[in-house]
A = this chain, B = another copy of it.
Amino acid sequence: MTKTPDSAVRSYIDQHEAEFLEDLSAWLRIPSVSADPGRAGEVRRSAEWLVAKLRETGFPVAEVWESDGLPAVFAEWPSGDASAPTVLVYGHHDVQPAAKEDGWATEPFEPTRIGRQLFARGAADDKGQVFFHTLGVRAHLAATGRTAPAVNLKLLIEGEEESGSPNFGALIRREAARLAADVVIISDTGMWAEDTPTVCTGMRGLADCEIDFYGPANDIHSGSFGGAVPNPADVAASLVAALHDADRRVAIPGFYDGIVELTEQERELFAELPFDEQQWLKVAKSGGTLGEAGYSTLERVWARPTAEVNGIWGGYTGPGQKTIVPAEAHVKLSFRLVAGQEVENVRKLVRDWVATRIPEGIRYDIAFPGATRPCLTPLDHPALQSTVRAMGRAFGQKILFTREGGSGPAADLQDVLGAPVLFLGISVPSDGWHSVNEKVELDLLRKGVETSAYLWGDLAENWQ
């Protein structure tokens, strides 16, 4: 019987909250700014502080992991139950740069509590969200009477996330065996809003593409030749235009083949989110919406693949007129991908499609500089169901779902470990990530602790 009485969890948290916040504040005082080479020592100190704290928490294994850059932290607490699933929690202990003179109301590395908010660089991104798991697992043990968590619990807390994770891929490949997990939980994200708790279930992938078009050997006179030779800027523009059909669907044959479509349930749950399109357009600084027919704005940015032109250039771009057929033109494209789309297959589809659209007299080069795979955990995945139940108990209300339209290294974990990824975060948009006056809402932080406390038992109980 692993189901925890919620009151026991809450009373344990009540007893330990002050100490928990003191510990978190001590960690927040360490200015672990990974982008500042002068603070590399502070990043290391942060890692060592965390290792010590995790050992104190009870993790039998807690170590600093070296990489070619700044150190990460790894910890492991085996369940002892032979059938227990293994969970890997990901977060990071480095922070964005911050200085009071940037406009902070308080010292960024002197955590300051004002009412039910705690202000400090890293309070939300990401030390606060890593740290709620430490009290969470203790509350889980206290409420269940266990001496080890109901799941095999692993933590991987990176030290270079705010610097673009340059060594993360190599690190997780090197340590794949020790990181092996049945599910990965990313605690480095947020919720829809303070009164709308949500779980993020996936991120879009990304495939970059650059195409260079070459026509005449140099710019030629459009009076002498215009209308009779192909114009590479026209070919580039026509290719960009042809990326979408009249319904704003990507018109590359096969592009949608095999993608994981939104379920009716997901669409209904997305629609329950209190989405204000006018407000969203203000944030987008855009004057209107445009996207794939048949889908809402949220569905378009979260769950539909796209083709976007990020840059285009060719011919004369200076002041005045130059009546030429340009020698060359260039486009930078990127494709956001969703689950079911494989990067290599999308590249092949793009390559084949482009090849059919180049008139005689135009040469071209096509390159695919970078890519990130999409990740998605279906709503009926047991780990997601457990997370939703755990959050529901903590928040006392219905948990909705989001996705992330951007692309990130979460997919690396999914790919290297072969495990589904989900996103458990309690931050809210007002928390000031990468900005001044970063803070964490203490009521939400506590709900994070509670969620963590309920989650491991639920997961173990419902894992098949």
Taking a contact as CB atoms under 8 Å apart, the answer to whether A286 and B233 are in contact is: no
Taking a contact as CB atoms under 8 Å apart, the answer to whether A361 and B286 are in contact is: yes
Encoded as 1 (CB less than 8 Å from any B CB) or 0, chain A from 214 to 240 comes to 011110111111111111011011111
Taking a contact as CB atoms under 8 Å apart, the answer to whether A289 and B228 are in contact is: yes
Report the separation of the CA atoms of residues A270 and B217 in the bound assembly, to the nearest whole angstrom. 27
Taking a contact as CB atoms under 8 Å apart, the answer to whether B312 and A314 are in contact is: yes
Residue A1, interface by CB 8 Å: no
The closest CB in chain B to the CB of A288 belongs to B361
The closest CB in chain B to the CB of A404 belongs to B223
Report the separation of the CA atoms of residues A300 and B225 in the bound assembly, to the nearest whole angstrom. 9
Binds B, one of A33-41, A100-108, A326-334: A326-334
Report the separation of the CA atoms of residues A225 and B405 in the bound assembly, to the nearest whole angstrom. 8
Q: Which of B230, B242, B322, B361 contacts A311 (CB 8 A)?
A: B322
Encoded as 1 (CB less than 8 Å from any B CB) or 0, chain A from 339 to 369 comes to 0000000000000000000011111000001
Residue A259, interface by CB 8 Å: no
Residue A208, interface by CB 8 Å: yes
Closest approach, in angstroms, between the C-beta of A40 and any C-beta of chain B? 25
Report the separation of the CA atoms of residues A241 and B243 in the bound assembly, to the nearest whole angstrom. 11
Q: Which of B224, B225, B336, B369 contacts A223 (CB 8 A)?
A: B336
Q: Which of B231, B297, B322 contacts A228 (CB 8 A)?
A: B297
Closest approach, in angstroms, between the C-beta of A129 and any C-beta of chain B? 20
Report the separation of the CA atoms of residues A87 and B169 in the bound assembly, to the nearest whole angstrom. 81
Closest approach, in angstroms, between the C-beta of A27 and any C-beta of chain B? 30
Taking a contact as CB atoms under 8 Å apart, the answer to whether A360 and B323 are in contact is: no
The closest CB in chain B to the CB of A321 belongs to B208
Residue A82, interface by CB 8 Å: no
Taking a contact as CB atoms under 8 Å apart, the answer to whether B230 and A240 are in contact is: no
Residue A414, interface by CB 8 Å: no
Taking a contact as CB atoms under 8 Å apart, the answer to whether A332 and B321 are in contact is: yes
Q: Which of B218, B226, B305, B336 contacts A336 (CB 8 A)?
A: B226
Taking a contact as CB atoms under 8 Å apart, the answer to whether A405 and B226 are in contact is: yes
A contacts with B, residue count (CB < 8 A) = 79
Report the separation of the CA atoms of residues A288 and B216 in the bound assembly, to the nearest whole angstrom. 9
Closest approach, in angstroms, between the C-beta of A244 and any C-beta of chain B? 8
Residue A166, interface by CB 8 Å: no
Residue A290, interface by CB 8 Å: yes
Taking a contact as CB atoms under 8 Å apart, the answer to whether B406 and A286 are in contact is: no
Which B residues are in CB contact (< 8 Å) with A309? 231, 233-234, 237, 314-315, 326
Residue A373, interface by CB 8 Å: no
Which B residues are in CB contact (< 8 Å) with A144? none
Encoded as 1 (CB less than 8 Å from any B CB) or 0, chain A from 377 to 408 comes to 00000000000000000000000000011110
Taking a contact as CB atoms under 8 Å apart, the answer to whether B312 and A361 are in contact is: no
Residue A48, interface by CB 8 Å: no
Which B residues are in CB contact (< 8 Å) with A229? 281, 284, 286, 288-291
The closest CB in chain B to the CB of A330 belongs to B317
Which B residues are in CB contact (< 8 Å) with A116? none
The closest CB in chain B to the CB of A305 belongs to B227
Mark out the residues of chain A between 197 and 223 whose CB falls within 8 Å of any chain B CB in the assembled complex.
204, 206, 208, 215-218, 220-223
Closest approach, in angstroms, between the C-beta of A440 and any C-beta of chain B? 22
Which B residues are in CB contact (< 8 Å) with A360? 287-290
Report the separation of the CA atoms of residues A325 and B311 in the bound assembly, to the nearest whole angstrom. 9
Which B residues are in CB contact (< 8 Å) with A300? 227-228
Which B residues are in CB contact (< 8 Å) with A407? 223, 323
Can you list the 4 inter-chain pairs with the closest CB atoms, starting with the nearest? A288-B361, A223-B406, A241-B241, A288-B360
9 pairs from A and B in contact (CB 8 Å cutoff): A215-B287, A216-B286, A220-B284, A228-B291, A308-B325, A310-B315, A310-B323, A312-B312, A321-B334
Apart from the given pairs A233-B309, A312-B313, A322-B332, 11 other A-B contacts in the complex at a CB distance below 8 Å: A206-B323, A222-B306, A227-B300, A229-B286, A229-B289, A234-B240, A237-B238, A309-B326, A310-B315, A310-B316, A311-B316
